[in-house]
Structure 1
């Protein structure tokens, strides 16, 4: 289990905090980031002062600084402790109040906003494959840095292009090449032609600042263990129907995770639902779901799941 999540209802300039981490090659990076990234964000945002200033450029620069500092500290910590030195983690962070949602995003988790039942995907996954604009930009950046991609993986190894940690693609690139030769993955002749010009993986976040209009109902943040098996519209429809039945976001998280498992997800799944408290769920009509969704409910499988609950009371600061 290498996923984790953090929820904070502290008054950070009138905002609450939530984050999902998806670790790989061990849990050490997640273990470090779940506390340190929050601290770095709060410090860079001057305790929340920048959030209340409503300066989008200042907020963006602060969150970029926070992610950069957290990554540097993580790499130093991994080197000093020797704990799972190849580990890394994605991170998607949210600050929200009743009017504004601010996201700082690295990796392949995703945030979806439900607006009167319409699914608005707010983030783009950082992956070194695909034909969408973001993926093509990531592929170009990696190649310009001296890296290569094999079967959708950087140097044939990792399938995300932005993450914290992962020293072998940052400060230990030459060591990674030497290890690859020793293991027979690379030839000495091939390695002699490799010239790295920059880090292959980066922890530079995409920043999104979204005004929450009157039709905004809830925010859904989850790791790729959900999104690789459930699309955004199906997820929003499912959650709305769940909340219509019982109004309980924890039960909705559990049911949505189970749906991904029923669709044969074998990845870790972390889900946070932030109910904005604006919707009378009992008054909503039941939405129809497609046949494939219903059929998938009959299929059982097993995986590890971490579930987050972020009640609307946390947003009423």
Structure 2
């Protein structure tokens, strides 16, 4: 599998969505994160891609490792990209409005390439040290750090071993902290998929 192939697929999806929109003045947008596991001879390769501020976090021997970078306008590399495209960042917001610098939709900000839907793709060879992957929306990470989320999931998996329930409990925990954004979480345990 090629990370360029994943990039092209995500760009194609964004273009198809653009074609179906009744008006170019849509002010709605969305971030996304996804993962693909590929069996390669004796190894399993993990590809993770994101657009926006959804995040992919690997738990490796209890440590949280961010596999994605949040595409926020206040991120120095994203700010430089936006400014090179003729846009601006004011108060940490793209064109003074959006917190994210990459997203699906938000067509009013797509002119000139200020806001793009091009994903960043990373890959990792799954090892015995890798416990699980967390894919989650920014509503979770607005109130919990990656390490706090990993610690919570590890504790729940030790208690009951139910991956889906652990993800649901993580969402409920984030809601207790009154996140003001949507909260979604998926947990993939590698000992269930690596063989």
Q: TM-score, normalization: structure 2? A: 0.91
CA distances 1:183-202 after superposition (whole Å, capped 9, x unpaired): xxxxxxxxxxxxxxx31101
Give the superposition deviation at 1:259: 1.3
| Higher RCO (CA 8 Å, separation ≥ 6 residues) | 2
Regions of 4+ moved over 6 Å = none
Q: Does 1:120 align with 2:65?
A: yes
Other-structure match for 1:77: 20
Give the superposition deviation at 1:254: 1.7
Give the superposition deviation at 1:82: 4.1
Other-structure match for 1:96: 37
Question: How many equivalent pairs are there?
Answer: 191
Other-structure match for 2:97: 157
Question: What is the alpha-carbon root mean square deviation over aligned residues?
Answer: 1.8
Secondary structure of the residue aligned to 2:34 is strand
Give the superposition deviation at 1:255: 1.4
Give the superposition deviation at 1:275: 1.2
Q: Is the 8 A contact 2:49 2:68 kept in 1?
A: no
Q: 1:273 to 1:149 in 2, by over 3 A?
A: same
1:60 and 1:250 mapped to 2: Cα distance? Answer: 28
Q: Is the 8 A contact 1:106 1:206 kept in 2?
A: yes
Give the superposition deviation at 1:97: 4.5
Give the superposition deviation at 1:225: 0.5
Other-structure match for 1:264: 178
Aligned partner of 2:136 among 222, 237, 244: 222
Other-structure match for 2:9: 66
CA distances 1:74-133 after superposition (whole Å, capped 9, x unpaired): 11111xx3498222211212101562210121110111111121111111100011xxxx
Aligned partner of 1:208 among 122, 135, 148: 122
CA distances 1:284-315 after superposition (whole Å, capped 9, x unpaired): xxxxxxxxxxxxxxxxxxxxxxxxxxxx3xx3
1:238 and 1:97 mapped to 2: Cα distance? Answer: 27
Secondary structure of the residue aligned to 2:152 is helix
Aligned partner of 2:189 among 263, 272, 275: 275
Q: Is the 8 A contact 1:92 1:109 kept in 2?
A: yes
How do 1:1-317 residues align onto structure 2 when only pairs under 5 Å count?
Answer: 51=1, 59-78=2-21, 81-82=22-23, 85-97=26-38, 99-129=44-74, 135-170=75-110, 173=111, 198-277=112-191, 312=192, 315=193
For structure 1, the 5+ residue unaligned runs are 1-50, 52-58, 130-134, 174-197, 278-311
1:145 and 1:83 mapped to 2: Cα distance? Answer: 19
Range with greater deviation from structure 2 (146-155 or 264-273): 146-155
2:173 and 2:29 mapped to 1: Cα distance? Answer: 27
Q: Is the 8 A contact 2:27 2:105 kept in 1?
A: yes
Give the superposition deviation at 1:239: 0.7
State the structure with more CA Rg.
1
Give the superposition deviation at 1:266: 2.2
Q: Is the 8 A contact 2:34 2:135 kept in 1?
A: no
For structure 2, the 5+ residue unaligned runs are none
Structure (1/2) with the larger helix percentage? 1
Secondary structure of the residue aligned to 2:50 is strand
